[in-house]
Structure 1
């Protein structure tokens, strides 16, 4: 399966929703007959899976739990699942306005007794349009839930028309769940709104050690930039009341949701986030970096590294995935793996020469040689991944020389940081073939978008701007993203 949600007790996974097919068609996809409508219990230790029917639950709850691309996370013994998109039991294609809280201990009891009452008692269900989100990410950190990005999509998908309704959340929603054990209630804390930075879906979000003794959520890549079918290349850390763009860094090798895992070394104050395959706007062929704006399937295993000086780089690991795997898959850590914090492995405690870390579960498998089967209208060449991939780490091989990935062109960029004569001028060398530029105000609202071609003057007329601070984000040749701030007096 792919695009599912799961919770865990020990070596047992409780899997909800997701798809049993491959990539969706250009018209349709996400039909009921391809949805996983059962609860799947997977015993990692013994490699045994069992299906349990959810048919005794309320129809709306079954539909929500059977959807794909939900936003989910686990707090203690409780699995929280939000939203998701699918065809429901009434043949409507919707993003589900649901939040489900699943008590995994009670669910385990249901499995052992097959008591249908225990099944219903193990799930609390809240309906709220706020939670009609698919393709976002839900995380729990610093005593709060963070719901990052995503979109609301209603109607049948069709790449040739706009008969559907699609609205991006353009925000991070911070909230608490009160009385998690008994009668849950939602308490909204704040929202971080930005019409550009959080207009992304199918992204990766992970806890990341951004500096010594400081762990924050990090937003990685995702799709698509406003009015351009190109992935985000910037990454940004999230705080309770805002976000921070990581300057002078572009993520080129992993641009879509995929299996990932983090490592941190206290001794060296170095953080790594490793991404397994998936889809990306760049890949290597015979050691040459190839740019493909169609964002193809890739075999790349890449790593975003923050060193002790606070500098970020992206590294292509020498190993590759055994096929076009990783998209919409999940990384499952082995029990007893030493952790620095949740979802971050303590690298300093990995003492053996070869360390078993975990598994890559599910995802989409493109078993053809075509990099873009969707674009080629050959989605039948894809399927849900039937393999369980075991991941091992060889710490002794970590120090082999690897070269950080960089754009083919090293642009020199100059600009004035204070508007002069109602104008901000950009001087970019060498001249790119195309430039897309967005101006965002302090409230996170896009106030202007510019698109220019090669040799066109690059200037921002600020005569209609109110006084204040603005952020300029620009994309050069669809493969280099950068931002800067300027003031309008």
Structure 2
């Protein structure tokens, strides 16, 4: 069945947005520690997992932003990540395994694992991967109707050893229910998986632009516009996907969004949240978060989030004492920036269009860190005083350090109370796109490059993320 969701009609009493003085912690991500990880790949828009203290990367691209209105506005197979990567931070060692060496029976999986913007979710020792966009083995650019999964323990062991002792744990199936790129895949306490947002893109982005971003014989785009509640089962060693329910709303027609698990006010139950995403009819971002849990249908919040509207690295933390959920966003692309001198948000200008010499699309690259605090149904947004060590964060990942205490063992939401009274390394900003949005001499007062022509590259920085939490709550 399909259910249409009406946005919550009750306006929240929202406190004024403030500086980090209202937060019970500060976060900084300036120090580049990439030298500590020799051989680490430079990737963006990849799927990742952690097992036994090691990082696992699948899919994504080895190039920068695809651009607009130019010859590089495409996703050639040559720019795909064609290896499975495992990094052991404790030993500063990097291992990889070529996708081409997987059995021919897994051709569909190999194609999918070469794609970018996959939806993925780690459920204990299993990594699920859904959808993704890229060029298949026949050279056709598609969004994959593929769901695959792999046992992480076997995968890590095989990649580290350099032998295929893991492909027999890979299972896959095809279903249009998981055909999406730029969405998110989450699992809640009811055992259901939720596929949220994204789009189905076919053909090249260059052809799509040439057709004035309208559907043609060579390129098309369709936003899912819904959140799907799915049941994933296994029979005879093959996964199956069944639809339980669809939740539809115009606000759900977004892609390249941020999403994550949250802890509900009871201090234990899981919920889910979506933040930002693109594109509205005005070619801008969505600003209202979407929340739901295992027993409550997705609903659109009334709060208007300002910062980091596009997929970026995030970290989720919960304070069990105050019952407050904190989601921190690292850079990326934003409709707004924060003016520290005036203590106000500044909306990015809209100038020209893709055909003009000067074109500002209203969504610039940023180097700021923001935190959305949610307590008792009320939200407040803060901007950290420390900036990132570069214009990074877009299509990146926050990789927590091993042993960082979680509220629940099965969910990457971290216990803020365990960090009180100290400055702690909690993880790293890894991968994504590094942008250089200002012209020489690269100052904040320097002219901006036109949108789509900003010089970019795969992020070569690995930024250490530190949090400082006072000994007592404010």
Q: TM-score, normalised by structure 2?
A: 0.78
| Secondary structure at 1:197 match in 2 | helix
Q: Which moved more, 1:317-326 or 1:37-46?
A: 37-46
Match of 2:347 in 1: 291
Structure 1 residue 373, shift from structure 2 partner: 7.7
After superposition, the Cα gap between the structure-2 partners of 1:223 and 1:268, relative to the gap in structure 1 and judged at 3 Å, is: same
Is the 1:104–1:122 Cα contact (8 Å) retained in structure 2?
A: no
Distance 1:129 1:373, change over 3 A: farther
Q: How many Å separate the matches in 1 of 2:75 and 2:287?
A: 28
| Cross-structure match for 2:44 | 2
SS at match of 2:112: helix
Question: What's the CA shift for 1:74?
Answer: 0.5
5 Å matches for 1:358-373?
358-369=427-438
Q: 2:377 aligns with which of 263, 285, 310?
A: 310
SS of the residue aligned with 2:365?
coil
1:183 lines up with 2:238 in the alignment: yes
1:374 Cα offset (Å):
8.0
- Total equivalences in the alignment: 394
1:135 corresponds to 2:182: yes
Question: Is residue 453 of structure 2 the alignment partner of residue 378 of structure 1?
Answer: yes
Change (3 A) 1:70 1:141: same
Of stretches 294-303 and 390-399 in structure 1, the one that deviates more from structure 2 is 390-399
**What does residue range 296-445 of structure 1 map to in structure 2 within 5 Å?**
296-307=364-375, 309-341=376-408, 342-369=411-438, 375-379=450-454, 381-396=455-470
* Structure with the larger RCO, 1 or 2 (CA within 8 Å, 6+ apart): 2
Once the two structures are superposed, residues 436-459 of structure 1 have per-residue CA deviations (whole angstroms, 9 ceiling, x without a partner) of: xxxxxxxxxxxxxxxxxxxxxxxx
Q: C-alpha separation between the residues in 2 aligned to 1:397 and 1:29?
A: 50
Q: Deviations over 1:303-343 (max 9, x none)?
A: 11113x43211111111111111000011111111111312
User: Secondary structure at the residue paired with 1:111?
Assistant: helix
| 2:83 is the counterpart of 1:38 | yes
**C-alpha distance 230-112 of structure 1, shift in aligned 2 (>3 A):** closer
Deviation at 1:184? 2.5
1:217 and 2:272 aligned: yes
SS of 2:108's partner is helix
Tell me if structure 2 keeps the 8 A contact 1:211–1:310. no
Distance 1:343 1:112, change over 3 A: closer
The 3 A distance-change label for structure 1 pair 170 and 261 is same
Deviates more, 1:206-215 or 1:65-74: 206-215
Deviation at 1:344, TM superposition (A): 1.2
CA contact (8 A) 1:221 1:254 kept: yes
Q: 1:257 aligns with which of 297, 311, 320?
A: 311
Alignment match, 2:56:
14
Q: Is the 8 A contact 1:172 1:198 kept in 2?
A: yes
* CA shift in 2, pair 1:147/1:374, >3 Å: farther
Shift of 1:269: 1.6
Contact 2:232 / 2:242 at 8 angstroms: preserved in 1? yes
Q: Please state how far the C-alpha of 1:56 moved relative to its aligned partner.
A: 3.1
Determine if the alignment matches structure 1 residue 168 to structure 2 residue 243.
no
Distance 1:338 1:109, change over 3 A: closer
**8 Å contact kept, 1:219–1:238:** no
**Residue 131 (structure 2) aligns with:** 83
Q: What is the DSSP-based 3-state SS (H/G/I as helix, E as strand, rest coil) of the residue aligned with 2:238?
A: coil
Structure 2: give runs of 5+ residues left out of the alignment. Answer: 1-42, 351-361
Per-residue deviation, 1:396: 2.5
1:7 deviates by 2.1
Name the SS for the 2:366 alignment partner: coil
Q: TM-score, normalised by structure 1?
A: 0.76
Describe the shift of the 1:399–1:384 C-alpha distance in structure 2 as closer, same or farther (beyond 3 A).
farther
Q: 1:181 to 1:346 in 2, by over 3 A?
A: farther
Q: Does the Cα contact within 8 Å between 2:197 and 2:226 map onto a contact in 1?
A: yes
Q: Cα 1:76–1:374, aligned 2, differ >3 Å: closer, same or farther?
A: farther
Partners of 1:310 and 1:156 lie apart in 2 by 42
1:83–1:99 CA contact under 8 A, matched in 2: yes
Aligned partners of 2:236, 2:436: CA distance in 1, in Å?
44
Moved more, 6-15 or 271-280: 6-15
Instruction: Give 1 or 2: higher strand fraction.
Output: 1
Is the 1:25–1:374 Cα contact (8 Å) retained in structure 2?
A: no
Q: Which protein has the larger Cα radius of gyration, Structure 1 or Structure 2?
A: 1
Answer whether contact 1:210 1:306 (CA < 8 A) is retained: no
**Distance in 1, Cα, partners of 2:245 & 2:155:** 32
